[in-house]
Amino acid sequence: MITFFHPWWDFLSRAILSFSVQRADYVGRPVPRKEDWRFITGRGRFIDDITIPRMLYAAFLRSPYAHARIASIDVSGAMRDGVVAALTGAEVNSLCGGLHVDAPPRGRVVVKPLAEGKVRYVGEPVAVVLAEDPYDGRDALDYINVEYERLEPVVDPLEASKPGSPVIHEDFPDNICFTRRFIYGDIDEAFRDADKVVEVQLRIQRLVPSAMECRGVVAVYDEGVGYLRVWATSQFPHDFRGWTAEALGIPESKIQIISPDIGGAFGSKIAHYPEDVAIPLLAKMYRRPVKWVETRSENFTSTTHGRGSAAWVQAAVKNDGRLLGIKAKILTDLGAYPYFSTIQVPEGISGMLPGCYKLKALESEVTGVFTNKVPTAAYRGAGRPEALYIIERTVDRVARELGIDPAEVRRRNFIRPDEFPYTTITGHEYDSGNYELALSKALEVVGYEELRRRQLELRSKGRLLGIGISSYVEVCGFAPTPAKVSVERTGRVKVISGTLPHGQGEGTAFAQIAADTLGVSIDDVDVIFGDTSLIEWGPGTAGSWTLVSGGNAVLEASRKVRDKILRLAAYMLEARPEDLEILGGRVSVKGVPDKSVSVREVAELAYDPSSLPKGLEYGLSADAGYNPRLTYPFGTHVAVVEIDSETGRVEVQRLVLVDDCGRVVNPLLVEGQVIGGAVQALAQALYEEAFFDSEGNLVNSNFGDYLIPTAVEIPEITAERTETPAPNPLGAKGVGEAATIGLAQALVNAVEDALAPLGVRVADTPLTPYNTWRLIRRE
């Protein structure tokens, strides 16, 4: 790692990051991220920065076949200079339990750290080498001899579900892991009353999450006390601790999990992976620290992928555009194993299919199919992007077939502001919303009426301009979250949270909340995440709950500490607590600022048992556990594209995103989340696809072939907001997944709108130049 450091730069970077935040009211202001100075000066501590004396390095041999029997493995050739051990599944798996996976509703799948007997996807680990040097370990893999008996793979979920397809798991002879059928309302009546039935076929391709930092695990076992310490790039450190205890037979009280700085995750660091079991086990077996850090190639082939669904939809509608009912059959590609969240993600699609609309009836059938590919799991949105993609593509198709403006069709079907809280046909209780306001603002910002006039003019000249709309609603706030807040004797504030960021900036947001509540400078607040020894339990981070759940827990704990400060200060100032206020780190009598004490002075008294008055609790700390109700962010996204009819290239001219995430703690963080998510949605619509050949090989398994947009491809993005407070103390809703849930279908709708004069309907993504060129030529 190259670090640029100079005392003047260090001073300047701190000054820049603290400028404009020396004030008492931090919440609601664009406070620069407190944590950024560590990163921009090279002081972040990521998994590969962790080095411990006598450390061994693990390397995994992975299957080159998607489906094969393992006839034999000979690891003796790997025992070369610098190699400590070379082990197979027979030696490792007998010493531990399996991975924590989703339980299928029927049958059973046990996943061990190393494959035994059979491999089911390219990249599945079959052997592990421990070496004194990471390069010696990787070189030693070349000397392991594995004999495989190739079996026919099946990589397409539709083909995998057909009779006679190769069987991946013996307990699932049809390769179907589950089928969930839901019927809400009178679906038959809805279709009888329809003037028209609109049919839509869609495919949402597989995606590689492509976090900046790959996965890694470091483990140390202290034999003397039987204590295991693990550093892991995990979004769920407390769950990771439980899973490790279960797999290794060690009490949770003897395990500490630390999630250090994490360079992105997007859901791909939730699952329990083979390496997560193997590395702690090897550290225990060999009584030495063991480290494994994933290569980028391994990340492509062995870390979970996202999305991977197909849908067949029928919409029952009236001639005026009103939606009556939806029938949807959804097929999802699970990959080879039901990792943690592999089943949960597709099972959640149906609940959010109504979107922003007042559906009378819904019939949904979701089928999850095993294939010979790396498992799928949560990826930024986790089921909500699929649901909103399906409904918003359907609404646009309804508008097109009825000849009604797509914005008007949405308006006619929206849930009205005075109808909230609103219970959908699927049972979700939307807390608050004003969908028409977000739509109107997006259309105004983009200049919708003028764009439509310009579109007609350009079409007369043979040019293909398209405008796409997506109005979305999502759900977040799934996890109860604890927090601990304390004021130390020095007057500094320490916040410990049961959630953690992997790039979102909660170190700043939580500090803003605590600083405002306690009346101190944000520079005097330290926020600590990701250490299971500091807080008894926590849900980690996912599902846009980090601020909604974690922030409200910090607020509640800070309020408890504030009450303690006021009670102690009242004793010191001979005043009543209700007559005091805290500003600028001092507690004073309202209207008499000279009669005051500092928060530090109050803390010194709080931690001095000999001086503490009777009836007042020792210390200035408090715990809180916030149990959230689900909350529902929403918004409207608009995309403007023009297509080159000769090359098929889609030029994105403008993106306008209007999101409503309730009250905003930090607009700067919100904008970062929205724009980052917008780029990922852009990639899904136009660039990315994990493409497998018929043998189960990931063809585009590196960034030379797997396309993600760079700064060159990113168009003008306008991020605006409306504000509809949620019914929680902060009034906040989640925002981390908003753009990946709302934008991709706006782009695809824009492409279909551009191609409408040609009578083209879009079913597949991504809309690369070649794929779009084929659509234009109806190939």
What pLDDT does residue 691 have?
Answer: 97
H helices of 468-615, where? Answer: 506-518, 552-573, 599-606
Runs of H (alpha helix) within 67-199 = 89-92, 134-140, 157-160, 187-192
Strand, coil or helix: 552: helix
Site of tokens 């696809």: 689
In the chain, % of residues over pLDDT 70: 97
CB-side neighbour CA atoms (13 Å) of 323: 33
Residue 651 DSSP symbol: E
State pLDDT tens for residues 485-525. 999 999 999 999 999 999 899 999 999 999 999 999 999 99
The tens digit of pLDDT for each residue in 576-615 reads 999 999 999 999 999 998 999 999 999 999 999 999 999 8
Give the per-residue pLDDT at 2. Answer: 34
pLDDT at residue 296 above 50? Answer: yes
Residue 3: pLDDT above 90? no
pLDDT band at 306 (very low <50, low <70, confident <90, very high): very high
Query: How confident is the model over 758-779, as pLDDT tens digits?
Result: 999 999 999 999 999 999 998 7
**602 closest CA partner among 490, 740, 734:** 490
What tokens appear for 255 in the block? 């395990």
- Whether 743 and 460 have beta carbons less than 8 Å apart is answered as no
Place 11 in a pLDDT band, splitting at 50, 70 and 90: very low
Residue 7 in this model has a pLDDT that exceeds 70: no
For residue 10, what are its two tokens?
Answer: 């260090």
DSSP 33: P
| Angle at the Cα of 778 from the Cα atoms of 776 and 779, rounded to 5 degrees | 115
Give the list of residues 6+ apart from residue 750 with CB closer than 8 angstroms, or none.
Answer: 466, 467, 468, 639, 640, 641
With DSSP H G I counted as helix, E B as strand and the rest as coil, what are the percentages for the chain, rounded to 5? 30, 25, 40
Largest CA distance in the chain: 88
Instruction: Please write the tens of the pLDDT for every residue from 623-664.
Output: 999 999 999 999 999 999 999 999 999 999 999 999 999 999
Is the pLDDT at 361 greater than 50, yes or no?
yes
Residue 569, both tokens: 């200060």
Name the residue with tokens 């969930």.
180
The amino acid that residue 357 corresponds to is: Y
Quick one: pLDDT at residue 16? 43
Reference 199, options 311, 314, 321, 319; nearest CA is 314
**Pair 417, 770: CB distance under 8 Å:** no
Give the position of tokens 């960021």. Answer: 501
Note the Cα 19 to chain centre separation in Å: 31
**Rounded Cα–Cα distance for residues 306 and 403 (Å):** 35
DSSP conformation class of 628: P
CA dihedral for 84, 87, 92, 94, sign (positive or negative)? negative
Q: Are 441 and 660 in contact (CB under 8 A)?
A: no
Phi, psi for 417 (deg, rounded to 5): -55, -35
Whether residue 358 has pLDDT greater than 80 = yes
Predicted confidence (pLDDT) per residue in 696-725, tens digit: 999 999 999 999 999 999 999 999 999 999
Residue 452, classed as helix, strand or coil, is: helix
pLDDT 10s digits, 157-193: 999 999 999 999 999 999 999 999 999 999 999 999 9
Using pLDDT thresholds of 50, 70 and 90, give the confidence band for residue 18: very low
24 pLDDT tier (thresholds 50, 70, 90): low
- Contact between 775 and 511 under an 8 Å Cβ cutoff? The reply is no
The conformation of residue 778, written as its DSSP 8-state character, comes to T
**How far apart (Å, rounded) are the C-alpha atoms in residues 360 and 395?**
15
Tell me how many degrees the CA angle 754-758-760 measures, rounded to the nearest 5: 75
Report the pLDDT value the prediction gives residue 10, as an integer from 0 to 100.
Answer: 46
